[in-house]
Amino acid sequence: MKKSTLYITTNIILFILFLGMFLFIVFDYTNNDLAWFDMEVIHIVQQNVTPALTTFIDRFTFLGSVLWFVIATVVVIVLLVLKKKYALAIYICLTSGVGALLNWTLKHYFKRERPDILPLIEETGYAFPSGHSMGSFIFYGSLAFVIIHVAKKTSMKWAVAIIMGLLILSIGLSRIYLGVHYPSDVAAGFLVGAIWLMLSIMVFHMYEHIFNK
């Protein structure tokens, strides 16, 4: 099987899998079938709450905020333009921008209220899917793609992938710890983020195939 065929097939399978998992979460949470899952995970994550840890995580979760993504996206775009990587600069801009719009649309479509079990900070807006989780998956995932795309050393590519993956996971867990999201919000954010990231990468590869022959 050719690499291109394997690549497309793998992406289609993952897309269907992630979309199916997202729809499963939507169906189950609207029927209150995921309440046991949410409560169990919240209990596990919040069982070691301390003032010091809460302060640290509250500051850490800024790395998944809208303000941080705007600042970081602008910085990355400027650096890519200076390096004359115009296609990658446009890719980062569109991936992050459209991803943010998609999250806003989904939040206002589902209109799920935030949990009131043990909120450690105050947040406004709707909960589903988690904007921090979805935004982190899209931004850090696309940033990892860009670095991997230009990096030459395999070791660096793996290091970037692992670091970004751990950062994304940590930000998702931080939202559960702070009590501002149900675990199903975070899972949904990751899934939609993964779907959009895969689609954006596929489009970028199509662009490269067409214009870089």
Helical H runs in 111-180?
131-150, 154-177
pTM for the model stands at 0.89
pLDDT value for 170? 94
**Block mean pLDDT (10 aa), the chain, length 213:** 72 88 84 80 87 91 92 95 92 94 93 80 84 94 91 88 94 91 92 94 83 65
pLDDT value for 200? 92
pLDDT value for 3? 64
By residue count, the chain amounts to: 213
28 close to 34: Cβ distance less than 8 angstroms = yes
- d(CA 67, CA 131) in angstroms, rounded, equals 12
pLDDT value for 71? 95
Region of 111 on the Ramachandran plot (φ > 0 left; ψ -120 to 50 alpha; else beta): left
pLDDT value for 11? 82
CA atoms within 13 A on the CB side of 85: 17
